[in-house]
Structures are given as C-alpha cells and as structure tokens.
C-alpha cells in the first residue's frame, strides 16, 4: 500500500472531488493519517476545501479537491514552421495561448530564445509571475530520447541532433522540463481531456507529414529508440511515390499534406500546404475532395494493420488535414472496417480531435504535471517546505 502524502495527492487528483472519509476508505489509511496528510496538502495549497458533500444522515463532510491554481506550467508545441505556446494551470488548461510563426531550422538556441520571450509575455497576460512556474513541457517535430530530453537524428530539425533541450530549459527556468515528440503530446492532451480516457488509443497527426502517438495500457508507448508510431513511413502496396526518407511507397509520400498540395498544384489549383488543401475541400472543389478521400483510404490501409496489431478502442485524427473532417475520416473508416478483423473493430471509435490546435500544448502541460506531481517529487518538495 502506498502511504505517503504525495500518493494521497495523486488519489485526490484522480478522484476529482472527494472527502476525508472517502480517502480513508479508498487508501486504507487510518483516518488520523488522512487528516494529517490533508492538513499538509491544504497548508501547501496543493488542495482546496470547499462546500459540503450531500449529507447522508451524519455530519456534513467538507469537499476536497486538487487546486488547479497551485502553480503554472509553460507549454509549447513546436512545428516545422507553425508553433503554439501557452501558460497552463495545474489542470493543464491553457490560461493563455498564442500561435508562433517560426522556422525550427533557425536552431535550438534561437528557438528557445523566442519561446522564452513568448512565455514571459504570456505570463504577464495570465497575471502569473515567474515564481509561479513549476515545470516546462515541450513537443518537437522529431524523435526524442525521452529520458534525456534530447532530439535524436530529427529529419526536419537541422541543428538539433543531440541537443539537450530539457537540460537547457531547466537551466533557463530552474524547474523540471520535459520533451517529447509532438504527436505523443497530442495523444496525451487529447486523452487528458476525456471524461473516461481509454487505455488503448492511437492519435494520428495528418499534417505536412503523417505520424502517430500510441497510448497502450494507459501509457505513451515510445519504443526502444523513441520512434514508435512512425506510420508515415509504412509502405503502402498501392502507392509508389518517392519519400523524403529515401524509400518508395511510404504512406506520407502519397497521403501527407505536402503530397496532396503538390498533387493539387499539378492539377492547376493553388495549394502550398495542408491548410490550402482543407480550404479547397471546404470550398467544394471536386479534385481536392477526391484527393483527400483517397488519402483517407491510404491512411486507413496503414491503420487497419495497426488495429489488428494493437486493438485500440479509439483512433483520433488530428493535424491540419483533419480540418477536412468527414471527407478524410470516411475513407479511413471505410478501409479499417474492410481490412481489420471484426473482433478488433468491435466497439472501435474513429473521430477527429476535440482539442484541435490545442491538443499539443495541453499534452505538453500534462506531461510536465505528471512529473511535478509524481508522489515521490511531491513528498520531497513537502519535506523541503517543512
């Protein structure tokens, strides 16, 4: 049995709203121990006390809940050219967020300088001080060695290979800083916003390229070298276009936003990127609708195998091209239901992202919070504060 104050905080965080009596019965701790630990969490403002639970005959009990105002977290979702920055509360909710147009190819120091400036500005807007900041979470568009917070051979991030991003951010802000692949944090963000989060889900980002974040058994699955979920480079039998990775027939080279924009340009339309493709689809342009539906079917081909292999209960489609909505999803569904086994697709839900552009920053904040609020770390901090 886990008995520390940090574990009690984790329990309160997972219950949402609770009472001392419920905490004692759920944790198995003595009521006197719960009372002492709750007192410690209250005096450190990590939880709040308010209202009263419905009386069931006895004395009304005070409601306890996790204090989402206990601190702030700096979050960012970096893309090749478009990024998003946010200051979030302890519930991973963005207090203030804004897009940031920046080429990631200017290198890590210049990018982190711009991020620091943006965060300083957003802290002011949110009415928070730098001393409120307890953690930093960052998503980057490339593979990451998670434990080291380091980019590893990122194909579209020149100058970042081996750079210790987490360590550099900790040096700047004096708090824990966590870094992961952008699609992993989008998966985490989308999941954290659900009332009843599934244990097994796949988040597919369809933007310029295509990638996926895998949550298995309730945890991000990163794989041995941090490249798990890289479905953009799965080979599709019906495609044969050359890919930027050097292979032929990769999913991304046929169904990614860059490939579609190129295809539509060749057909005489104006499309430089994913967002232009979405604009044409929404405008009812038949060639664009046809191309997006075909892309959906190709993505469905790759996902059908993944459904058979991993048996998720939910597939969420995000990224710029998800703006094409049903035109993209219909093709994905069609092929998954055709190719995956009936048992694997039983109860499977396939839908677009609910958080849209914000999935990444919410997930980045959640990743940092899970570290800051880890029971052992909470206990250590409580000990320091006396």
Footprint on this chain of Zn ion (rule: CB under 5 A): 233, 243, 245, 247, 250
Q: Do the Cβ atoms of 104 and 79 come closer than 8 Å? A: yes
Closest CA relative to residue 292, chosen from 318, 266, 326, 317: 326
Closer Cβ to Zn ion, 209 or 323, answer by number: 209
Q: Which two tokens stand for residue 110?
A: 């210049």
- Buried b / exposed e across 50-66, counting CB within 10 Å, b at 16+? eeeeeeeeeeebebbbb
- For the chain, the maximum distance between any two Cα atoms, rounded to a whole number of angstroms, is 75
Min dist CB 247 to Zn ion, Å, is: 5
Closer Cβ to Zn ion, 247 or 313, answer by number: 247
* CA–CA dist 16, 66 (Å, integer): 7
Query: Got the DSSP string for 288-325?
Result: HHHHHHHHHHHHHHHHHHHHHHH--SEEEEESGGGGGT
Min dist CB 252 to Zn ion, Å, is: 6
Q: Do the Cβ atoms of 102 and 83 come closer than 8 Å? A: yes
* CA–CA dist 208, 197 (Å, integer): 28
β strands within 207-336, DSSP E:
210-216, 219-220, 314-318
Closest CA relative to residue 260, chosen from 298, 316, 300: 298
* CA–CA dist 284, 324 (Å, integer): 11
Distance in angstroms between the alpha carbons of the first and the last residue of the chain: 24
Closer Cβ to Zn ion, 253 or 372, answer by number: 253
Min dist CB 298 to Zn ion, Å, is: 13
Min dist CB 205 to Zn ion, Å, is: 15
Min dist CB 230 to Zn ion, Å, is: 9
Closest CA relative to residue 366, chosen from 374, 376, 377, 378: 374
Closer Cβ to Zn ion, 236 or 250, answer by number: 250
Closer Cβ to Zn ion, 243 or 382, answer by number: 243
Min dist CB 231 to Zn ion, Å, is: 10
Min dist CB 295 to Zn ion, Å, is: 15
Min dist CB 259 to Zn ion, Å, is: 11
SS3 50: strand
Closer Cβ to Zn ion, 15 or 245, answer by number: 245
* CA–CA dist 158, 104 (Å, integer): 8
Closer Cβ to Zn ion, 4 or 235, answer by number: 235
Min dist CB 275 to Zn ion, Å, is: 22
Closer Cβ to Zn ion, 233 or 297, answer by number: 233
SS3 105: helix
């Amino acid at each position: 049995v886990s008995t520390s104050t940090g574990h009690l905080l984790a329990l309160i965080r997972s219950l949402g709203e609770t009472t001392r009596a419920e905490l004692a019965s759920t944790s198995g701790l003595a009521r006197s121990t719960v009372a002492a630990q709750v007192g410690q969490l209250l005096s450190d403002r990590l939880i709040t006390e308010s209202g009263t639970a419905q009386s069931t005959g006895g004395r009304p009990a005070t409601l306890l809940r996790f204090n989402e105002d206990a601190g702030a977290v700096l979050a960012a979702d970096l893309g090749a050219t478009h990024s998003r920055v946010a200051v979030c509360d302890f519930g991973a909710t963005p207090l203030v967020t804004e897009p940031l147009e920046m080429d990631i190819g200017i290198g890590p120091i210049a990018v982190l300088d711009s991020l620091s400036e943006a965060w300083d500005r957003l802290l002011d807007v949110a009415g928070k001080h730098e001393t409120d900041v307890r953690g930093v979470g960052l998503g980057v568009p490339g593979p990451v060695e998670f434990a080291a917070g380091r980019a590893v051979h990122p194909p579209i991030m020149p100058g970042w290979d081996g750079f210790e991003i987490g360590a550099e951010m900790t040096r700047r802000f004096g708090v824990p800083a966590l870094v992961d692949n952008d699609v992993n944090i989008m998966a985490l963000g989308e999941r954290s916003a659900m009332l009843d989060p599934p244990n097994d889900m796949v988040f597919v980002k369809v933007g310029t390229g295509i990638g996926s974040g895998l949550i298995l058994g309730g945890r991000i699955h990163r794989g041995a070298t941090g490249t798990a979920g890289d479905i953009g480079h799965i080979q599709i039998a019906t495609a044969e276009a050359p890919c930027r990775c050097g292979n032929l027939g990769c999913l991304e080279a046929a169904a990614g936003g860059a490939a579609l924009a190129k295809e539509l340009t060749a057909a005489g339309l104006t499309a430089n990127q994913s967002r232009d493709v979405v604009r044409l689809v929404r405008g009812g342009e038949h060639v664009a609708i046809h191309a997006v539906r075909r892309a959906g079917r190709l993505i469905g081909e790759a996902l059908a195998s993944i459904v058979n292999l991993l048996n998720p209960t939910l597939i969420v489609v995000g990224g710029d091209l998800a703006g094409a909505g049903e035109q993209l999803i219909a093709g994905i569904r069609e092929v998954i239901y055709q190719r995956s086994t009936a048992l694997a697709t039983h109860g499977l839900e396939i839908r677009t992202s609910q958080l849209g552009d914000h999935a990444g920053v919410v997930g980045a904040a959640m990743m940092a919070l899970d570290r800051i609020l880890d029971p052992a770390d909470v206990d250590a901090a409580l000990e320091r504060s006396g």
